[in-house]
A and B are shown apart, each in its own frame.
Chain A
């Protein structure tokens, strides 16, 4: 069974440009999460999809970030326009269900560098 995949693995863009990150969850996982780790800090939650619906977007830092999950399969996270503080590693995770005993499986991450 394929795990969570993310593309690209690394992106370097200039301040003010746009970047779109993609995540493909484990097949059959309705729950998809985005997290971010900025250098020296802990991994922080951004948002949670259940199928195509946003269940929790309390962690989205501002309106420069737009996440979509059309059709309830893969998800994209767009940053527009990118700022220097957006640099970090963006992780996607998926889980089969919700509740205390459901594990989240993480992808390899996209390392975003904004210069």
Chain B
């Protein structure tokens, strides 16, 4: 079982719709959760992170964390074609894990006109 699981996609949504990206993790000791966006051939760009149960909003983006279910998601409202990219979920576990990030393989999002 992979430590961080994401559906590879592609996830296709129409422009203006809500895109929902999901991530599950296996280690209950994981403490913080990061969403990165990566355009083809570019560096991963941090969108937001969350470490408390519940929702965290930043502009069009909302991260949701449910530690009991070991589930974290990213919602993108009013999706734009420029949001088309691969979205990487990463987790950090300080105790016994140091500061390293453990990544999923990413979900490719396509926002269609």
Is there an interface contact between B51 and A100, defined as CB atoms closer than 8 Å?
A: yes
Against A, the Cβ 8 Å flags (1 = close, 0 = not) of B66-99 are: 0000000000000000000000101010100011
From 48 to 75 in chain B, residues with beta carbon under 8 angstroms from any chain A beta carbon are 49, 51
Q: Is B28 an interface residue (CB 8 A)?
A: no
Is there an interface contact between B32 and A101, defined as CB atoms closer than 8 Å?
A: yes
Pick from A33, A101, A105, A109: contact of B100, CB below 8 A: A33
Q: How many residues of A contact B (CB 8 A)?
A: 29
Complex formed: what's the CA distance from A11 to B99 in Å? 28
From 24 to 59 in chain A, residues with beta carbon under 8 angstroms from any chain B beta carbon are 31, 33, 35, 41-45, 48, 55-56, 58-59
Q: Could you name 14 residue pairs across A and B whose Cβ atoms are closer than 8 Å?
A: A33-B99, A41-B105, A42-B2, A42-B103, A42-B105, A42-B106, A45-B102, A48-B98, A91-B44, A100-B51, A103-B46, A104-B46, A106-B36, A107-B43
Residues of chain B at the chain A interface (Cβ within 8 Å): 2, 4, 31-32, 34, 36, 42-46, 49, 51, 88, 90, 92, 94, 98-106
5 closest A-B pairs (Cβ-Cβ)?
A: A45-B100, A100-B32, A43-B103, A56-B98, A106-B43
Residues of chain A at the chain B interface (Cβ within 8 Å): 4, 31, 33, 35, 41-45, 48, 55-56, 58-59, 91, 93, 95, 98-109
